[in-house]
Chains A and B, each alone.
Chain A
């Protein structure tokens, strides 16, 4: 647990993020209207360059709120976020240029084809000309959708949509890729393909922040895992270190130990 000691909520001795720190969140608090319980409560996190960081938590734990704030979708009530040392208040545009987001809900136009979707989002990323053509082609190959490039997304299976959803998030060759439950509702083949591709992207140097509630998925992919519950990061470390330090047989046991066995229907 030594690795996580300085990250415990309320610790006044939080170090300044180092030069390799890609994501730095400090004491984030977020309340939603009509909900007394905070969605995030003193949430603190550092993700280093080249890490594959998995944010694990039960339903309603605050995963999506955390990554929404970390990607600048909306601000926290208090606390600070820095991406590569830049804050959203000062350099929102610069941050968004190095950021790739793959939302949990499919972020694609159903009546447009795969190519048209890639073309549109590519242009919005500021890519044009030959480079855009190359990026679209790479995106189609990445998503294994070259043959379906001219088909409307509405005709795609969930797995195909998820793969294209990921390919769109990679169009701007992001330094930080944030994925919110990217493998929900897809078959084993598509999941396997996405996993392999994410590992490859990470090997090439892209920092990945990944939320999931599939524990095995996090164990397979992530170099470091953070477990979030009730808006707080309750534990973090590499899967191996977490198991060793906790003395639990597997991550699921640890997860249930930390987050409890009560159903989370909120």
Chain B
């Protein structure tokens, strides 16, 4: 124990003296988590998880535009109304093509009159004989930024199409109600005797008979919160920062190996495992501080940047255990890099590349479900994925410790394997 304590104290002293290195270790993930979360808030907006602004120009100023506005009020589209006296189609086209807005909707002049006329003519045809007459659809013009994401484009189009279909259906039903009332009157029946409720028909048809009930992924989880970039990004980028400590750990080992220190240590009555443990304990402290800093940024700085705060409402001990085991996995990897590489240049290049790759396939940068099938299968080999899945299970899905034991086991196993391999390499490196 004395030797482990000595090794840990020495590492902490070395870290304290390398203030620039320490600053980078804390600043890098802190800056990343703020930037990426801010950017992802915007991506969520673009992918429809938040309201999307849609330019709306009503050149007709009739009932059709009003109905459409009313229908769209309940969707995720945020209408920006342009004054028809000052703007025209060319302006809306320019605004969308220029990237200022992604979507623009124009109700052409005379659209309401054409729509009313066509609806009125719907049932004025040859007493059931011959083919139904061809109807002329009234067009509402849609302008879409060519650079718009496909998901957003179909989302916006679907909502507009749904609104137009509803308006059309309501108009048809109103017309049908009128025709029915006239038919009943011609037959001498009282309107109350009609099996269909006349002018109340559209309201009747709006009553839902089928419903789509949305649930969170797991019904057994208590306290599950809606998917938010903050709850995803804070642990994700904290993990990224933790695994980046692998590079300074490798650097410290290579500094020892490339000086007389390693020879001296090898000649002393002390196992390399003791020295590795000292490093792991010291850098685990660094990783814990990193996570704490990023969590504090999430909790207190994010709200002032217009982002929702990071919250840890449940299972704090399970979260702490996840942080500890993720840190150990990162330290193990750093120790392995320090023994496997021959120079700091090698270790920093291999270390940064492998950590970025592990972060990318592990779901830190893009959620795993959004990846191609091959990458989704690959993601299970990334230690960052194990840590991130554990954090998501705790913070987003509301699971308890028992549900994340498999991921924690993988992180512990990774630490054990990397340290044992390093021990083996230390023997070879003698």
Point out the residue from B5, B7, B17, B263 that lies within 8 Å of A103, measured CB to CB: B263
Taken residue by residue from 148 to 175, chain A's Cβ proximity to chain B (1 for < 8 Å, 0 otherwise) reads as 0000100000000000010011000000
B263 touches A101 (CB 8 A): yes
B267–A73 touching, CB < 8 Å: yes
**In the complex the two chains form, what is the Cα distance from A17 to B381 in whole Å?**
56
Contacts of A119 in B (CB 8 A): 6
Say yes or no: B2 contacts A128, CB within 8 Å.
yes
Complex CA–CA separation, A165 to B260 (angstroms): 9
Q: How far is the CA of A204 from the CA of B14 in the complex (A)?
A: 36
Q: Give the interface residue-count category, chain B.
A: 20 to 34
B interface, over-half SS: helix
Q: Which B residues from 256 to 274 make CB contacts under 8 A with A?
A: 259-270
- Asked if A138 is an interface residue, CB under 8 A from chain B, the answer is no
A175 to B122, CA, bound (A): 111
Q: What is the number of contacts between chain A and chain B, taking CB atoms within 8 Å?
A: 79
Q: Tell whether, in the assembled complex, residue A107 and residue B269 are in contact, meaning their CB atoms are under 8 Å apart.
A: no
Q: Assess whether B264 is in contact with A123, with CB atoms less than 8 Å apart.
A: no
Q: A105-B259, A128-B2 are in contact. Are A112 and B10 (CB under 8 A)?
A: yes
Q: Does A121 contact B (CB under 8 A)?
A: yes
Q: Report A-chain residues with C-beta under 8 Å of the C-beta of B13.
A: 111-112, 116
Q: Cβ of B259: which chain A residues have Cβ within 8 Å of it?
A: 105-108
> For window 47-104 of chain A, which residues contact chain B by CB distance below 8 Å?
68, 71-74, 93, 96-97, 99, 101, 103-104
Q: What is the 8 Å Cβ interface bit string for chain B, positions 3-34, against chain A (1 contact, 0 not)?
A: 10111011001100110000000000000000
Question: Taking the complex as formed, is B430 at the interface, i.e. its CB lies under 8 A from any CB of chain A?
Answer: yes
Q: Distance (Å) between the CB of B144 and the closest chain A CB?
A: 60
**Would you call A120 an interface residue if the criterion is a C-beta within 8 Å of the partner chain's C-beta atoms?**
yes
Q: Is the CB of B3 within 8 A of A111?
A: no
Nearest CB in chain A: distance from B408 CB, A: 32
* Measured CA separation A178–B259 after assembly (Å): 17
Q: Could you give 16 example pairs across A and B, Cβ below 8 Å? A: A71-B267, A72-B266, A72-B267, A74-B430, A99-B267, A101-B264, A103-B260, A106-B259, A107-B263, A107-B265, A111-B18, A120-B10, A124-B269, A125-B268, A125-B269, A152-B17
Known: A111-B18, A112-B13. 18 other contacts (CB 8 A): A72-B266, A96-B269, A101-B267, A105-B259, A106-B259, A106-B260, A107-B259, A109-B10, A109-B261, A111-B14, A112-B14, A116-B13, A124-B3, A124-B265, A125-B268, A125-B269, A168-B264, A169-B264
The 8 closest A-B pairs by CB, nearest first: A107-B260, A105-B260, A123-B6, A103-B260, A107-B264, A101-B267, A111-B17, A96-B269
